[in-house]
Structure 1
Amino acid sequence: MKSYREKFNMAGFLKYVHCISTSSALWHLFKQEKKKAMLNELVSKVTKECWDKCITDTPGSKFSSSESACLSNCARRYMDMSIIIMKRFQSMH
């Protein structure tokens, strides 16, 4: 039979393990939410920048072929540059 001290230590240890696993789960959730927020921010920024560059008149019900091509190229260039910049920062650390 375990002594009171052994039971207490085991209970304390289990609480500690639970706390760590909860903290780890919360940290993982925080990192996921941060990634989502960064992606939303990127999409918003690309949308604004490319819209301002490519849509010069009041848009109709559809984009013209030149507007569509401009938006596509702008978004592609923006994403390519983001990847290049991210790789540079990663190589610095």
Structure 2
Amino acid sequence: MALSSIFGGAAPSQQQTAPASTAKAVNVKEQLKTQIAQELAVANASELVNKVTENCFEKCLTSPYSSGEEGCVDQCLAKYMRSWNVVSKAYVARIQQASTSGEI
């Protein structure tokens, strides 16, 4: 029995497993971050579709469908997509800034 094990030190074989388990924990953490990011992207896309449907179709479509309503839907959709892109870019920039400053 070595003196290091008496005084609380780990055996050399135990010291080698610690970095491997740390690397595994980091890998799991990165996989979880990736999965969460993917789920957020799907949720954001679903939210966009729901808002477009709710706002544009209710605004533009009337009971009997007419050809003039198609232009209204197209313009409304384009406006929502532009707005969505602006908000998404600002959100990503804030997340990246918080990540680099250590807030996240």
- TM-score, normalised to structure 2, is 0.68
| 1:64 Cα deviation after fit | 2.9
Distance (whole Å) between structure 2 residues aligned to residue 50 and residue 44 of structure 1: 10
1:64 corresponds to 2:66? yes
User: Larger RCO: Structure 1 or Structure 2 (Cα < 8 Å, ≥ 6 residues apart)?
Assistant: 1
1:18 corresponds to 2:24? yes
Amino acid at match of 1:77: K
1:78 is aligned, of 77, 80, 104, to 80
Alignment size in residue pairs: 85
Q: Deviations over 1:24-81 (max 9, x none)?
A: 11111111111110111011111110011011215xxxx5321221111110011122
Identity between Structure 1 and Structure 2 (%): 26
Unaligned runs of 5+ in 1: none
Amino acid at match of 1:35: A
2:11 is aligned, of 5, 21, 39, to 5
Judging changes above 3 Å, is the alpha-carbon distance between structure 1 residues 16 and 88 closer, same or farther for their aligned structure 2 residues? closer
Between 28-37 and 74-83, the greater mean CA deviation after superposition? 74-83
Amino acid at match of 1:72: D
- TM-score, normalised to structure 1, is 0.75
Distance (whole Å) between structure 2 residues aligned to residue 29 and residue 87 of structure 1: 20
Following TM superposition, the consecutive aligned residue runs of length 4 or more in structure 1 with deviations greater than 6 angstroms are none
Between 25-34 and 82-91, the greater mean CA deviation after superposition? 82-91
Distance (whole Å) between structure 2 residues aligned to residue 25 and residue 57 of structure 1: 48
